[in-house]
Amino acid sequence: MFDLDKWQEILATIRQNKLRTFLTGFSVAWGILMLVVLMGSGEGLANGIEYQFRDDAVNSIWVRSGQTSVPHAGLQPGRNVRFTNEDHEIIARDIDGVEYITSRFYPRGQLTVAYRGETGSYDIRSVHPDHQHLEKTIVSEGRFLNDLDIAEYRKVAAIGERVKEGLFGKDRAVGEYININGIPFRVVGLFRDAGGESEEEKIYLPISTAQKAFAGGNRIRMFMLTTGEADLETTDAMATEIRETLAQRHRFAPEDRRAVFVNNLNEFFERFVNLMSGIRIFVWIIGIGTILAGVVGVSNIMIIVVKERTQEIGVRKALGATPGSILGLILQESVFITAVAGYVGLVLGVVLLELGAAFLPDSEFFVNPGIDLRLALAATALLVLAGTLAGSVPAYRAARVQPVEALKDE
């Protein structure tokens, strides 16, 4: 039940002890503010790391050809390793756990793309249909490349939104023909890309068609594959098996790291996840430590309050105040100060995060700092509870004091 007299008394006590109340509230508000800022900053770092992987499937293995650096089986170092379509087929067939796989072939030279007098120079990638899953390509109109395009050497193309804007403007692109070095390709689809505008300035062609049209033979530059839900140990084993298979086919030492470059993104992503887990734990430790310091401050202040009001409490008890009413008075003051200060710290922390997001220079490694409001409110509630517990000890002592002893206190 709301007790107006008790609240008036609490507010009067606070007005009479402004500095003490301010210092108590400041310690609590500072603890919540630091917790909110630290957690928001940690979230910004986590978002930044995830942003680095926005464009590629994190459960993937990327394989690029290189040049041998050590002699092997009577062969001198310095040989270029050249992948072929057979490498793609063998990896897809013989390596267990391959979910999606694609190769890339890059036509040589500067290719000019034209449409009705409009020309441009764009990055052209010749790929398999599964490439869509590796690069997180989002089809916005029409379709992506398919298996029939590969099997029938179709002259078709999927173009990025930026390519469409450059060549077609506001006109419809799907169904129209673009010329790449004089060879007509029918546009079958438009796409967006999570990697941003630069990724939307690309044109995808069927790899079989491009190899034939641009004198590529059976060569491929690299291939990539996804590993499904396989764990890190399994994907490491897959990467090793891929290296050994290619080493045997192209006659280089398996330990020659420069002959082929096998990058297991599962491993990189796992490292970043572990790093972020460590940062989050560190943030929580610092934040909880700061809050505990605030709680200890509340407890100390309440002990001082009880000490200063010992005679007053003795008078109250001599006039008939019950231990429960004394206990409630002290606890209510503790909870009130803690709750108000915690809320102020929460609001200031959120404001600081918003200001930081608005005015800090853009960085790909610090994106959208923020905090789950439910988590922040839970932390504030926890602090209020801790403040209540902190105030309960001096309140309990105050409730047990004997009127005669209290009146003797100086």
Q: From the centroid of its chain, how far is CA 368?
A: 10
pLDDT at residue 47, rounded to an integer: 80
Q: 244: which 2 tokens?
A: 């050994």
Q: Which residue has the higher pLDDT, 25 or 148?
A: 148
pTM above the 0.85 mark? no
DSSP code string of 278-299: HHHHHHHHHHHHHHHHHHHHHH
Q: How far is 196 from 192, CA to CA, in rounded Å?
A: 8
pLDDT at residue 150, rounded to an integer: 96
CA-nearest of 205, 192, 201, 203 to 166 is 201
Judged by average pLDDT, the poorest of 75-79, 147-151, 304-308 is 304-308
- Read off the pLDDT of residues 16-44 as tens digits, 9 standing for 90 and up: 777 777 877 887 788 788 888 888 888 88
* Angle (CA) 183 164 193, round 5°: 110
Q: How far is 339 from 337, CA to CA, in rounded Å?
A: 6
Q: Residue 1: pLDDT band by 50, 70, 90 thresholds?
A: low
Quote helix, strand, coil % in the chain, to nearest 5.
55, 20, 25
- Read off the pLDDT of residues 49-76 as tens digits, 9 standing for 90 and up: 777 777 778 899 999 999 999 998 888 8
Partnered with residue 330 across adjacent β-strands are none
Q: Which residue has the higher pLDDT, 273 or 395?
A: 273
Place of tokens 């089986």: 73
- Read off the pLDDT of residues 91-145 as tens digits, 9 standing for 90 and up: 999 999 999 999 999 988 778 899 988 888 889 999 999 999 998 899 999 999 9
- In Å, what is the CA distance from 32 to each residue of 209, 242, 295, 366? 61, 51, 11, 22
